[in-house]
Amino acid sequence: MSTLLHIDASLRPDSLSRRLSGRFAEHWRDQHPGGTVTRHDLAADPLPHVNLTQAEHLMYRTASSDGEQPEEVRRSLRLVDELRGADLLLLGTPMYNFTIPSTVKAWIDHIAWPGHTFDPVEGRGLVDLPAVVILSRGGGYGPGSPRADFNFQEPYLRKVFEFIGITDVEFIAAELTMFTGENSPDEQLKSLGERSLEEAIERVDKLAVGR
């Protein structure tokens, strides 16, 4: 039986990244009757920041391993198991202040531990899982645009996923979302934003086939 791990992070219930990831998840369900979808809404149910107890148990290994592990350590390990046990990761995330929301960073901090998702000695990731990442961002960051080098959303996710072994990743981005809609301040950017969204929808529909 197949499992989809579907994570969303936008603050907005009717957001574009949610619409696109939801569309992908619907296709996935159609193709995997009986499959399981594990959901996390990181805006509605944010994870706490990782703490010293987790770092001592899972990063520095300075904590005693005798007895039962603290609940927050077990929670991180449950999130690791959930990721490693999935067949596909679907992440929908907006850009906030040029990168991912802190809620997504918190989830990454919960799952990126040596010996669990990466091997620091051999320098290789331990998560063998394909991913589809849906990105939304208010501005445009294409090559040659004034803010091209401000985009720390996709490059960061690409690297951190590669680090833990998620190398088969498809990124689908809807850009210029702040310029779409009725109150757009700029007609040219509005049509570029609308086109970006249409292309993202087309890519979602195409990519979902056979996933």
Ligand X SMILES: Cc1cc2nc3c(=O)[nH]c(=O)nc-3n(C[C@H](O)[C@H](O)[C@H](O)COP(=O)(O)O)c2cc1C
Binding letters toward ligand X, positions 5-34, x by CB under 6 A: -----xxx--xxxx----------------
# residues near ligand X by CB under 6 A: 18
Q: Residue 15 or residue 103: which is nearer to ligand X going by CB?
A: 15
Q: Residue 54 or residue 93: which is nearer to ligand X going by CB?
A: 93
Q: Residue 94 or residue 125: which is nearer to ligand X going by CB?
A: 94
Residues 181, 182, 184, CA angle at the centre, nearest 5°? 75
Binding letters toward ligand X, positions 167-186, x by CB under 6 A: ----------xx--------
Separation in Å, CA 98 to CA 12, 170, 198 = 18, 20, 23
Report the length, in residues, of the chain.
211
Q: Residue 14 or residue 187: which is nearer to ligand X going by CB?
A: 14
Smallest separation, CB 27 to ligand X (Å): 19
Going 31 to 36 to 40 to 45, the CA torsion angle's sign is positive
Smallest separation, CB 42 to ligand X (Å): 12
Smallest separation, CB 101 to ligand X (Å): 8
Smallest separation, CB 78 to ligand X (Å): 26
Got the DSSP string for 122-164?
TTEE-----EEEEEE-SS---TTSTTGGG--SHHHHHHHHHHT
Going 88 to 93 to 99 to 102, the CA torsion angle's sign is negative
d(Cα 9, Cα 46) in Å, to the nearest integer? 9
Binding letters toward ligand X, positions 51-90, x by CB under 6 A: ----------------------------------------
Sites for ligand X among residues 83-142 (CB under 6 A): 94-98, 136-139
Q: Which of 118, 110, 117 is nearest to 51 (CA)?
A: 110
Question: Counting beta carbons within 10 angstroms of the beta carbon of residue 7, is it exposed (0 to 12), middle (13 to 18) or buried (19 or more)?
Answer: buried
Site residues (CB under 6 A) for ligand X? 10-12, 15-18, 94-98, 136-139, 177-178
